[in-house]
């Protein structure tokens, strides 16, 4: 049984029950993920002193303005991962299509999808940000295509994030629960600090960007109105609201003390022809796996996020995740409004 103080490598080695021929692979791969996260944690902490703040002056494939740190984080991650010998290719929020591992490096049988820097709008204000990652298997040794990344969230062999905040924390799952590691900067190691993370089924805290309330569809309007009615309303208790502006920050809080995170499809996104804001393969799926592994629920309102069969690399989805009682309630409201 792993104890607080165990290093990430020791923990993963203890937990590894894969067949002899692949034993140690995920430990090595996650070791490289940890290295990338340490490099990014350092850059985020240096901030303006490292010249990483501000806009990059260009857009990504999704039409979003990129920050310098979005691009740097993408490069740092790829640089740290491409020599692992374990990856066949990498897909990222910041790249139009996937990046195949170049032929000068050994190619392996895993695929990595990641959001290099989540919560970009927090970079310049020294707010919390993070990196989200999802690992799946790639059958065979051929170079992958974009289509090889289109796997449902149930096929993830590992998912996690690194939160860059007052402490940097790596939180991950390999399908055996959720574990949190805190970066000890004095020795440069992620050390087990949060064993067996679970999300309480019940909560009185929600996270949604309320500035879009005029665009919300009926289920979200009803759910939030009822929460805000407090002790005098149908929920008969007061609710609190938090919105970090970074999914990593919000999901981390929910893993620590419960809550429900909602980024719904709304009339504004619909009018733009979008299916949601958050991206399935490198935001919703890895966070969904963490939340389910911690005993919570992750849903779009019409189906569990992890059941979605993706059709495109940068696919967007509505997201409702966290404490199961609240997610189930909002899903019920969606069932009552099947046109929304
Ligand atoms: P990213 O910075 O990777 O583009 O992701 C930002 C996401 C997510 O982290 C956050 O919950 C949400 O976008 C915030 O969006 P709004 O600014 O619309 O609230
Ligand atoms: Mn993001
Ligand atoms: Mn991002």
- What is the SS3 assignment for 240? strand
Q: Mean pLDDT over residues 167-171, rounded?
A: 98
Ligand 2 centroid to residue 30 C-alpha, Å: 20
Query: What Rg, from alpha-carbon coordinates, does the chain have?
Result: 19
Counting atoms of ligand 1 from 1, which one is nearest the CA of 64?
4
Q: What is the structure's pLDDT at 62?
A: 85
Residue 337 clears pLDDT 80, i.e. is over it: yes
Residue 18 clears pLDDT 60, i.e. is over it: yes
pLDDT confidence bin for 64, thresholds 50/70/90: confident
Q: What is the structure's pLDDT at 104?
A: 93
Residue 31 clears pLDDT 60, i.e. is over it: yes
Q: Mean pLDDT over residues 126-133, rounded?
A: 97
Q: What is the structure's pLDDT at 340?
A: 58
Counting atoms of ligand 1 from 1, which one is nearest the CA of 93?
3
Q: What is the structure's pLDDT at 83?
A: 94
Q: What is the structure's pLDDT at 168?
A: 98
Q: Which of 278, 279, 320 to mutate to test the pocket of ligand 1 (most atoms within 8 A of CB)?
A: 278
Residue 97 clears pLDDT 90, i.e. is over it: yes
**Where does the chain show beta strands of DSSP type E?**
55-59, 65-67, 87-92, 99-100, 110-118, 129-137, 158-164, 168-173, 179-184, 189-194, 205-207, 240-241, 260-263, 278-279, 297-299, 316-317, 319-322
Q: Mean pLDDT over residues 68-82, rounded?
A: 95
Residue 1 clears pLDDT 70, i.e. is over it: no
Q: What is the structure's pLDDT at 339?
A: 59
pLDDT confidence bin for 4, thresholds 50/70/90: confident
Decide: 32 in ligand 1 pocket, CB within 6 A.
no
Q: Mean pLDDT over residues 184-210, rounded?
A: 97
Scan for tokens 């935001």, then name that residue. 283
Mean pLDDT computed over every residue of the chain: 95
Ligand 1 centroid to residue 64 C-alpha, Å: 11
Q: Mean pLDDT over residues 122-136, rounded?
A: 97
Give the distance between the most distant pair of CA atoms in the chain. 66
Decide: 66 in ligand 1 pocket, CB within 6 A.
no
Q: Which domains does the chain have, with CATH numbers?
A: 8-194 (3.30.540.10), 205-339 (3.40.190.80)
Residue closest via CA to ligand 1's atom 18 equals 209
The CA distance from 19 to 100, in Å, is 26
Q: What is the structure's pLDDT at 178?
A: 98
Q: Mean pLDDT over residues 262-270, rounded?
A: 98
Residue closest via CA to ligand 1's atom 16 equals 245
Decide: 148 in ligand 1 pocket, CB within 6 A.
no
Scan for tokens 């996650």, then name that residue. 30
Name the more confident of 25 and 141. 25
Q: What is the structure's pLDDT at 321?
A: 99
Q: What is the structure's pLDDT at 51?
A: 87
pLDDT confidence bin for 272, thresholds 50/70/90: very high
Ligand 3 centroid to residue 115 C-alpha, Å: 5
The CA distance from 172 to 286, in Å, is 9
Residue 2 clears pLDDT 80, i.e. is over it: no
Q: Mean pLDDT over residues 303-325, rounded?
A: 98
The CA distance from 329 to 298, in Å, is 12
Decide: 246 in ligand 1 pocket, CB within 6 A.
yes
Ligand 1 centroid to residue 323 C-alpha, Å: 21
Decide: 120 in ligand 1 pocket, CB within 6 A.
yes
Counting atoms of ligand 1 from 1, which one is nearest the CA of 261?
11
Contact 149, 118 (CB under 8 A): no
Q: Tell me the three-class secondary structure of 132-196, residue by residue.
A: EEEEEECCCCCCCCHHHHCCCHHHCCEEEEEEECCCEEEEEECCCCCEEEEEECCCCEEEEEECC
Decide: 70 in ligand 1 pocket, CB within 6 A.
no
Q: Mean pLDDT over residues 56-67, rounded?
A: 88
Q: What is the structure's pLDDT at 338?
A: 72
Scan for tokens 């938090």, then name that residue. 242
Q: What is the DSSP letter of 281?
A: I
pTM of the full predicted structure? 0.97
Residue 226 clears pLDDT 60, i.e. is over it: yes
Counting atoms of ligand 1 from 1, which one is nearest the CA of 132?
3
Q: What is the structure's pLDDT at 124?
A: 92
Counting atoms of ligand 1 from 1, which one is nearest the CA of 277?
13
User: What backbone phi and psi angles, to 5 degrees, belong to 38?
Assistant: -65, -40
The CA distance from 192 to 15, in Å, is 13
Decide: 210 in ligand 1 pocket, CB within 6 A.
no
CA geometry: angle at 283 spanning 257 and 89, to 5°? 135
Residue 201 clears pLDDT 70, i.e. is over it: yes
Residue 245 clears pLDDT 70, i.e. is over it: yes
Q: Which of 209, 250, 314 to mutate to test the pocket of ligand 1 (most atoms within 8 A of CB)?
A: 209
Decide: 84 in ligand 1 pocket, CB within 6 A.
no
């Amino acid at each position: 049984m792993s104890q607080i103080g165990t290093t990430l490598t020791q923990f993963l080695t203890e937990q590894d029950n894969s067949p002899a021929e692949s034993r140690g692979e995920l430990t090595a791969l996650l070791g490289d993920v940890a290295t990338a996260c340490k490099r990014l944690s350092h850059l985020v902490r240096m901030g303006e002193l490292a010249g990483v703040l501000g806009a990059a002056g260009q857009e990504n494939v999704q039409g979003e303005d990129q920050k310098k740190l979005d691009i740097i984080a993408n490069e740092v991650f790829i640089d740290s991962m491409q020599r692992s010998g374990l990856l066949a290719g990498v897909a990222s929020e910041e790249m139009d299509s996937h990046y195949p591992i170049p032929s000068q490096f050994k190619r392996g049988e895993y695929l990595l999808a990641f959001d290099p820097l989540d919560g970009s709008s927090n970079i310049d204000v020294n707010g919390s940000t993070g990196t989200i990652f999802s690992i799946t298997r790639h059958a065979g040794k051929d170079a992958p295509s974009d289509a090889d990344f289109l796997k449902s969230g149930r096929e993830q062999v590992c998912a996690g994030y690194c939160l860059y905040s007052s402490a940097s924390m790596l939180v991950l799952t390999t399908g055996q629960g959720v574990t949190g590691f805190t970066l000890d900067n004095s020795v440069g190691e992620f050390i087990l600090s949060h064993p067996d993370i679970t999300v309480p089924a019940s909560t009185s805290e929600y996270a949604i960007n309320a500035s879009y309330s005029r665009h919300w569809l009926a289920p979200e309007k009803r759910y939030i109105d009822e929460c805000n009615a407090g002790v005098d309303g149908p929920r008969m208790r007061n609710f609190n609201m938090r919105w970090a502006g970074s999914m990593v920050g919000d999901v981390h809080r929910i893993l620590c003390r419960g809550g429900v995170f909602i980024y719904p499809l709304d009339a504004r996104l619909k009018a733009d022809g979008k299916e949601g804001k958050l991206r399935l393969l490198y935001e919703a799926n890895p966070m969904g796996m963490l939340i389910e592994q911690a005993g919570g629920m992750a849903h779009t309102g019409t189906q569990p996020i992890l059941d979605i069969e993706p059709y495109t690399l940068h696919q967007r989805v509505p997201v409702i995740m966290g404490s199961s009682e609240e997610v189930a309630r909002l899903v019920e409201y969606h069932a009552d409004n099947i046109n929304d």
